[in-house]
Structures are given as structure tokens and as C-alpha cells.
Amino acid sequence: MGMIHHMLNGTPIDFFSKEQSTVETASYGSEFVAAQTCVKQIMDLQQTLRYLGGPIKGQSYMLGDNESVANSSSRPEAKLHKQHIALSFHRVREAVASNMLSFIHIEGALNPADILTKHWGHQQIWPLLPTLMFWSGDTADKED
């Protein structure tokens, strides 16, 4: 299942979760399919903001908890060994190479997208909630 959580200036604006339409034998392929879906949604959100007259400053950040997928999409020397994910692989790498976004590895326990999809205890979830619910200051003035 792919889980995508979009934030704009520190404010959660969208959450997407969907069963995969293809069967993958390993998480590598399914994570690349989810990354491609995220890239497409980021492109759509950026285009919508441009239509509304909003400036797009800098690049977007895509966080993923699969380190090999994050590394494969960010390193120019990485090779594709599974041809059936070629479209996802190249679409994500193209977005990273064009500086539209940065794909960053994050530990699964720190991934804010997992808050809405897994059963958590209070002790595990509380450190992640401020990331989504509380922002100090005016988000319109956020520089990064």
C-alpha cells in the first residue's frame, strides 16, 4: 500500500493511500511505484499553485523509508536491475536530476505519513504529531 502525505509551508494539505494496482515480489518495486505517484502529485500541486499565482521557491522534498529506493533515485551511477519498474525508476530519477525535488531517506519510525495508516501507542505517535499539527509562527513567512 502506498501512502503519500503532502505538506505546504508546514501545513498538511493532502493524504493519499491506495492499494497497489500491480503485484510486486519485493518492497523495492512497490516503493518506486509509490515514489512515481508522489512525483506526479507534486507536479500537479506545483502546477495548481502556479495557476493560482503562488510562487514556487526552491525544490520539494520527498521522504521515503526505503533507503535503497532513495539512494537509487538520487545517485547518477545507480543501475536498474528490474526492468518491470523502469518507468517508475526513470520518472523519479528525472525529477531528482532536474532539481524539482530531493528524495531523502527517513527512518520508518519517524515517517509522518505512517501516523494515519498504522496502529500506534501514545508513546510512539506523540513525537510525530507536532510535525503535522503545530507550526510555530506564520507559515506564509516560512523561507525553506
Query: How many distinct structural domains can be found in the chain?
Result: 1
pLDDT of residue 44: 92
Residue 142 lies in a domain: no
15 is a domain residue: yes
Among 27-41, 57-71, 127-141, the range scoring the smallest mean pLDDT is 127-141
CATH of the domain at 59: 3.30.420
Mean pLDDT over residues 92-101, rounded?
89
Can you tell me whether residue 27 is helix, strand or coil?
helix
Domain for residue 143, yes or no? no
Residues 42-55: tens digit of each pLDDT = 999 999 989 999 88
* Three-point CA angle 98, 103, 104, nearest 5°: 145
By DSSP bridging, strand 11-18 and strand 60-64 are unpaired
Residue 141 domain-assigned (yes or no): no
What is the domain extent for residue 112?
A: 2-136
Distance, CA of 89 to CA of 139 (rounded, Å): 33
Q: Quick check: is 13 in a domain?
A: yes
Instruction: Give the whole-angstrom CA distance, residue 48 versus residue 14.
Output: 14
Residues in the chain: 144
Q: Is residue 25 within 8 Å of residue 34, measured between CB atoms?
A: no
Q: Tell me, yes or no, whether 26 lies in a domain.
A: yes
- Kind of pairing, strands 101-105 and 60-64? parallel
